[in-house]
Amino acid sequence: MNTATFDIAVLISGSGSNLQALIDQQQGFGYRIVCVLSNKADAYGLVRAQQAHIATRIVDHKAYDSREAFEQAMIVAIDEFQPKLVVLAGFMRILTPLFISHYEQRLLNIHPSLLPKFKGTHTHEQAIAAGETEHGASVHWVIPELDSGRVIAQESVPILADDTAEVLAKRVLTVEHQLYPAVVAAIAQGKIRADDHSDPLTLSQLLHKVVS
C-alpha cells in the first residue's frame, strides 16, 4: 500500500494522547500527519509532534479580536499543507460556521461519550451522575451544531461501581486511541465517505474494514 498519499492535519490544545495514537499508527494505516496545529503554545502535543518530525503551527486565539479572525488564521496555516482531512483531537475552541464550512466533509472530531448522550464537557462526570452502566467514545463529522454531526464509529466501556471520573476517563481514552486511527484509516482507504449514511460502526466492525 502507498503509505504517503492521504495527508491529514491534527488540531490540539493539550496533552495530545489521541495525537500520539494517530502518530503511532499512521505508517501501517496509510495516512500521513503533515501538520499539527495548536491554539496553545505550551500544549504537550506539540512536543509529541516535534519528536515525530511533524511540522507544527501555533495560532493563539488570544492574539485575535474575533473568532472569525482566529479561524481565518488557522485556515491559512492549515491550507499551506493541503490536507485531505482535518482531525480535531482535544481541540478546545468552539468553531464557527466559517471554519466548519471551509472544511465541509473533511472535518472530524472525537468526543468522549456515546453520542447523542452527554454532549459538551465533563462527559465522564455526567455519565456517572446519570447512573449509566456504559460510557464510551464517538468519532463524528463536524457540523455547526456542537457534537451533533453524523457519528461514524463508537465504542463503549463499562462503568464500574467505584469509578471516579478520572478512572473512567482513562478507560475511555484507551478506546479513543484505537478508534480514532482506525476511522482515519478507513476514510484514507476509501471505506468510509462523508456522504455515507450507515449506522455507527463498533471498533471491531471498523477494524474489519481497514487494511493495515
111 part of the active site: yes
CB 118, min distance to ligand GRF, A: 12
Q: Which is nearer to ligand GRF, 72 or 148 (CB)?
A: 148
Among 53, 61, 102, 111, the one annotated catalytic: 111
Task: Give the residue closest to ligand GRF by C-beta.
Answer: 90
**Whole-Å CA distances, 16 to 10, 11, 162, 163:** 10, 9, 27, 24
Instruction: Tally Cβ neighbours within 10 Å of residue 66.
Output: 11
Residue with Cβ nearer ligand GRF (79 or 165): 165
What are the Cα distances from residue 45, in Å, to 14, 163, 208?
Answer: 6, 27, 29
CA 67-169-93 angle, 5° bins: 0
Taking the CB of residue 49, how many other CB atoms lie within 10 A of it? 25
Judged by beta carbon, residue 110 or residue 157, the one nearer ligand GRF is 110
Nearest residue to 57 via CA among 32, 83, 76: 76
Question: Who's near 44: CB < 8 A, 6+ residues apart?
Answer: 14, 15, 16
Tell me which residues touch ligand GRF (CB under 6 A): 14-18, 89-90, 110-112, 137, 173, 176
Least Å distance, CB 73 to ligand GRF, is 22
Nearer to ligand GRF, 15 or 72 (CB): 15
Cα–Cα distance measured from residue 113 to residue 115, given in angstroms and rounded to the nearest whole number: 6
- Give the integer Cα–Cα distance in Å for 19 and 113: 18
Q: How far is the CB of 102 from ligand GRF (least distance, A)?
A: 20
Instruction: Report the nearest approach of ligand GRF to the CB of residue 199 (Å).
Output: 21
Residue 175 is inside which H or E element, if any? helix 165-188
- Least Å distance between CB 89 and ligand GRF? 5
Output 74 or 110, the one with its CB closest to ligand GRF: 110
* Catalytic (active-site) positions: 111
